[in-house]
Chain A
Amino acid sequence: MTPERIATLVARWARLYTRRLPAPIAERRIEELGADVHDHIAHERAHGTGDRLIALGLLSRLVRGLPADVSWRGRHSPVARSVVRVALVTAAILLVPLVAMQLSGGVAWSPADFAVAAVLIGGAGLLQQLTARRVSDLTYRAAAGLALAAGFLLAWTALAVGVVREPDDPLNAMCAGVLAVGAVGAVLARGRPRGMARALLATALAQALAAAVALVASLAGGPTDRLGSVADVLGVNGLFVLLFAGSAWLFARAGRGSRAPVPAPHRSGHHDR
C-alpha cells in the first residue's frame, strides 16, 4: 500500500460520487481533493513519515469522509434526493402494517403484499416528485396529485378488497384497463394540460364503463346480495369516476392559456460547492 495508490483511490472515489453533477461543481471538488492529497503526502514525506503510515492516514481520511461525501452528493443531485425522500416515506408507511402485524393477529401481510404496496406507494411518490420538479403551476400540480391519488387508491382497492365483489373476482381486472387508459393517455398527451384533461376524462369514462359492466354482470349473475350491493358498486366506482373527472377538470383549468406544462424553476445545487 503506497500513498500514490491511495491517492488514486481517493481520485476515483471523487470521480464516482461527482458523476453527472454539473461540471463546475464536480471539477472543483476533484481538483480541491487532488491538491489536498498532494499536500498531505508532501507534508508527511517532508517530516520523514513512512509511506505506509501516510497511506493509512489518507485511507482513514477517505473512509471517515464517506458519509459526508454521500450526503454532499445528495444535496447537489435533486433527483437522488427525491428518490431517497420517496424511499423513506414508503418505508415509513410500510412500517405501519409491519408494526400492526406484531400487535394484532387481524393484520397479516405476506412479503408479496409488502412488495406490491412498496411498488404502488413508491411509484406514486416518484411520479409526484417528477411532476413537482417539472411543473410550477399549482393547478396542474393539484390535477396531477389528484390523478395519482385516484390511480393509487383504485389499484390498492382492487388488490386489497376488490372494487367489484372480492379481490380475486375477474371483474376487478377491469381496473387494470382503467389505469391503462390513464397511463396511455398521459403518455400520448406528453404532459400537456389539455391532453392530460382528455386522458383523465377518458379514464373517468372507462371507470364508468367498468362500473356499468360490473352492474350488468351483477344483475345477470344472481341476487344482488350475493354479488355485492348495487349501491356499493355504484358508490365505489362513482367515487373514482368523480376523482378522475375532477382531475380532468383541474387539468383543463391549468390548460387555459397554456399548451405545455410550466417548467418548475431549476433547483439544483450551488455551482461552487
Chain B
Amino acid sequence: MARRKPGTLLPIETEILEAALAMQRTQQATFHGFGLAQTLREQRGSRSLTGHGTLYKALGRLERFGLLTSTWEDAPAAEGRPRRRLYALTQQGAEAAERALAARPAPSATSPVPRLAPKPA
C-alpha cells in the first residue's frame, strides 16, 4: 500500500475526488461505492474494479478529512435492494479536486475521455 506524506492525498483519494467533481459537474450530486468503483475503472481504462477494502478505506479517509460527506439512502429510494451510503463532495473537497486537476498534465488529444457518471446499478 502507498505510504502517505503528511498533508498529501494518496493517488486513489485524488482519483476519487476528481471523479466526484466530474459527477458534480454533471448534476450528479451524490454517488455510492459501486458506482464510484465503476467510474474509477473507466477513468483508468482498467478491466478490474477497485478492491472493496481499498475503496471504502479511501472514502472513509476523505470523509475524515472533511472532503466528502455521506448519508444513508432513504429506505423507499432503495426499492427493496440494500440501501446505499451516498457520498457528496464538500466545498473543501471540490477545491482539493480542482487543485488536483490543475496539477495534472493535460491529456493528449488521442486519449479516451472517461465516462464519469456511473450507470445506475
Given A38-B82, A68-B1: A60 in contact with B57 (beta carbons within 8 A): no
Q: Is the CB of A69 within 8 A of B53?
A: yes
Which of these, B32, B35, B50, contacts A61 with CB under 8 Å?
Answer: B50
B54-82 vs A, Cβ < 8 Å mask (1 yes, 0 no): 11111111011000001000000000011
Q: Is the CB of B33 within 8 A of A273?
A: no
Chain B interface mostly? helix
Q: Is the CB of B82 within 8 A of A63?
A: no
Chain A interface mostly? helix
- B20 interface residue (CB < 8 Å to A): no
- B49 interface residue (CB < 8 Å to A): yes
- A19 interface residue (CB < 8 Å to B): no
Give residues of chain A (39-75) contacting chain B, Cβ–Cβ below 8 Å: 39-40, 42-43, 57, 60-72
Q: Determine how close the nearest CB of chain A comes to the CB of B121; give it in whole angstroms.
A: 4
- A134 interface residue (CB < 8 Å to B): no
Binds B, one of A29-37, A138-146, A155-163, A226-234: A29-37
Residue ID in chain B nearest A40 by CB atoms: B34
Q: Determine how close the nearest CB of chain A comes to the CB of B70; give it in whole angstroms.
A: 8
Interface residues of B toward A: which range?
20 to 34
Q: Determine how close the nearest CB of chain A comes to the CB of B38; give it in whole angstroms.
A: 7
- B25 interface residue (CB < 8 Å to A): no
Q: Is the CB of A35 within 8 A of B83?
A: yes
- A225 interface residue (CB < 8 Å to B): no
A246-273 vs B, Cβ < 8 Å mask (1 yes, 0 no): 0000000000000000000000001011
Q: List 25 A-B contacts (CB under 8 A).
A: A10-B52, A31-B85, A32-B33, A33-B52, A35-B32, A35-B82, A35-B85, A36-B37, A39-B32, A43-B38, A43-B119, A43-B121, A60-B51, A61-B50, A61-B52, A63-B51, A65-B54, A66-B51, A68-B1, A68-B54, A72-B60, A270-B60, A273-B59, A273-B63, A273-B64
| 10 residue pairs, one from A and one from B, having the closest CB atoms | A65-B53, A65-B51, A273-B60, A64-B51, A68-B53, A69-B53, A39-B121, A39-B34, A35-B82, A65-B52
